[in-house]
Amino acid sequence: MTTPDKQRSRAGADVLWTALRRNAGAMTWGTVLMGMYQAGETAFPIALGLIVEHTLRERSLGSLALSIAALAVIITTVSLSWRFGMRILQKANTTEAHRWRVQVAACGLQPVARDVDLKSGEVLTIATEDADQTADIIEVVPLLISSLVAVLIAAVALGMASVHLGLLVIVGTIAILSILSVLSRRIGTSTREQQARVARAGAKVADLIVGLRPLHGFGGNHAAFLSYRKVSTEAKSQAITVARVNGAYAGAALALNALLATAVTLTAGWLAFNSRITIGELVMAVGLAQFIMEPLRLFSEMPKYVMIARASAERMALVLAAPAVMTPGTERLPAGGDLEIDSVRYGSLRELKFHVSAGEFVAIAAYQPRAAADLTSILAMNVPPDAYEGAVRVGGRETGELSIEAVREHLLVNPYDGEIFAGTLRTNIDPAGGGRMIPEAVEASMLTDVVALHREGLDHGVRDRGANLSGGQRQRLSLARALATDADILVLRDPTTAVDAVTEQLIARNIAKLRRNRTTIVITSSPALLDVADRVLVLDGGVITADDTHRNLLTADENYRLAVAR
């Protein structure tokens, strides 16, 4: 049986293979150029050894000039191949990271949520840090291959001088990689845990920012700070653990590489002392022993970066490979239409039934906030149809038969806590840039005073989450955005809780006027909105207990009067 860890590991490997396959061309050219760079670097001490050998033998100015020209060619090759090779690889790396960021963001923004236990802050970390670290595989593989090329050239060159030197380099390299592979697995495990803890800390910060004003309101700042401090401390502790493992890895790699270089140098000196290699070969061996530390360092560090990339790829796979919470239908709807809730049982809702005709303005007075929240979730299609009993029909068609896009083209549900984005008043009202109904929506939501306050008007800047707006201004801005869509069926939940009574009266009349002959449902306890509705449905105990006008209910129903009268 396949375990979740194995499934995640396999999905992570698929992500890495996708990245490698998409960048095969750039990686091929990058590998060739970086191979030329490493070959040129390796050729430099070999050339020096040959120059010393021929100079001692021939003592010719022509040979010296030819040697200098050869060194110039090697240096030029090294410089240009590094420059263009890294340019190709870094461009491919950056492009690939962008692709993954967009793909993760697209998954997070899909109409159908994915079945993954991650908060928005964690998804943000995956879409940024993990996407970047996964794309690093594009540079890692060519550098790994080019470093291997350098080690092999050095081993062959030393082997031609002495079999002992060539075998020493090959055996030493294998031993170093075997030792470091153990540490690299430890790095992968530690890094995966660190990324998870950092993501949880990011999610906690996002949650706290969303609830900052309520926290200030009831004095929960200190408790919130302690809560964040706990998860942040856990992330810090894990980061220190990763740093220790990385330090141990880097120190071990450096020590082992230096040990191999020392062994090559001493062996070459011993062979030269016993006249088994020439002075030129000794110079070459000493030069290669010094040079080989750099490709060996790169070669030995690559497994670490591979493990980090794989850990990040596995975290991205949590989002990319997660199945959809529901499988929506494919049918579409004609314009207009009515809304029917037929015997729905979900959460606090019990056999809920009501019908709203096309063009009708209906208010729902929910005595229990939980019932209002459950109804809003179902209408917004945040709950899969198979998660509740009964049916929701739009235009006579069950929502399970319709595509999410088709439902949302005709049915818009605006929650009471609608998000405000960084940008301008205009981009918050009309994010898609269609420009429809903006003046009418601004006037109906009574946002005109906010626009008039600023010289830029609708182009006035809005900070993230509307930090430079009051609660009432944010709520009116969210309402304006909903009204500007001119949806066939509009559902509003508590759209005026943060405004004063006079403004609330004006907004209620404006909504009724603007939405005339358009299907509108308002879930509210506001007397002003209840009064302008064609009829009011009382939602109590999960069922509709009354259906009449606001004024008739005030006269005939004492419970209703106590619940909504202010």
* 507, 526 Cβ separation under 8 angstroms: no
In this prediction, residues 482-488 reach a mean pLDDT of 91
In a domain, 330, yes or no: no
In a domain, 185, yes or no: yes
Same domain flag for 269 and 346: no
Query: Mean pLDDT over all residues of the chain?
Result: 81
Among 255, 285, 320, the domain boundary falls at 320
Higher pLDDT, 330 or 368: 368
Same domain flag for 518 and 432: yes
Nearest alpha carbon to residue 207 among 215, 195, 198: 215
Number of domains in the chain: 2
The pLDDT of residue 55: 64
Local confidence band at 1 (pLDDT 50, 70, 90 cut-offs):
very low
pTM above 0.85, yes or no: no
CATH number at residue 187: 1.20.1560.10
In a domain, 331, yes or no: no
What letter does residue 129 receive in the DSSP assignment?
Answer: I
The pLDDT of residue 302: 72
Local confidence band at 217 (pLDDT 50, 70, 90 cut-offs):
very low
CB atoms within 10 A of CB 449: 10
In a domain, 382, yes or no: yes
Same domain flag for 214 and 285: yes
Q: Which residue has the tokens 């060996």?
A: 296
Residues 366, 372, 378, 380: is their CA dihedral positive or negative? Answer: positive
pLDDT > 50? residue 29: yes
CATH number at residue 354: 3.40.50.300
Same domain flag for 309 and 441: no
Q: What angle do the packed helices 221-273 and 279-291 form, to 10 degrees?
A: 170
What letter does residue 386 receive in the DSSP assignment?
Answer: G
Same domain flag for 312 and 347: no
Least confident of 237-241, 273-277, 301-305, 428-432: 237-241
Q: Pick from 215-219, 262-266, 285-289, 327-331 the range whose average pLDDT is largest.
A: 262-266
In this prediction, residues 180-207 reach a mean pLDDT of 60
> Judging by DSSP bridges, how do beta strands 489-493 and 423-424 pair with one another?
unpaired
The pLDDT of residue 94: 94
In this prediction, residues 271-282 reach a mean pLDDT of 78
Same domain flag for 315 and 382: no
For residue 313, the one-letter residue type is A
In a domain, 325, yes or no: no
In this prediction, residues 3-27 reach a mean pLDDT of 80
Local confidence band at 62 (pLDDT 50, 70, 90 cut-offs):
low
The pLDDT of residue 47: 74
Q: Which residue has the tokens 């923004």?
A: 109
Same domain flag for 343 and 316: no
In a domain, 408, yes or no: yes
In a domain, 480, yes or no: yes
> What is 435-465 written as a DSSP string?
-TTHHHHHHHTT-HHHHHHSTTGGG-EE-GG
In a domain, 334, yes or no: no
CB atoms within 10 A of CB 2: 7
CB atoms within 10 A of CB 369: 11
Local confidence band at 509 (pLDDT 50, 70, 90 cut-offs):
very high
Q: What angle do the packed helices 293-320 and 279-291 form, to 10 degrees?
A: 30
Same domain flag for 345 and 316: no
Same domain flag for 388 and 242: no
Same domain flag for 275 and 132: yes
Q: What angle do the packed helices 24-58 and 279-291 form, to 10 degrees?
A: 150
Nearest alpha carbon to residue 205 among 184, 225, 183, 187: 225
The pLDDT of residue 90: 93
Domain that holds residue 516: 339-564
In this prediction, residues 548-565 reach a mean pLDDT of 91
Paired tokens of 386: 């198979």
Local confidence band at 165 (pLDDT 50, 70, 90 cut-offs):
confident
Same domain flag for 284 and 405: no
C-alpha distances in Å from residue 419, one per residue of 372, 467, 474: 19, 11, 9
* 478, 418 Cβ separation under 8 angstroms: yes
Looking at the DSSP assignment, which residues form a beta bridge with residue 77? none
Among 261, 286, 320, the domain boundary falls at 320
* 323, 513 Cβ separation under 8 angstroms: no
pLDDT > 70? residue 60: no
Among 288, 320, 352, the domain boundary falls at 320
Same domain flag for 495 and 456: yes
The predicted-structure confidence for 30-48, as pLDDT tens digits, reads as follows 999 988 888 887 777 777 7
Local confidence band at 258 (pLDDT 50, 70, 90 cut-offs):
confident
pLDDT > 80? residue 220: no
The predicted-structure confidence for 454-466, as pLDDT tens digits, reads as follows 889 899 999 877 8
Looking at the DSSP assignment, which residues form a beta bridge with residue 540? 543
Local confidence band at 4 (pLDDT 50, 70, 90 cut-offs):
low
Paired tokens of 88: 């190709």
Nearest alpha carbon to residue 411 among 381, 369, 444: 381
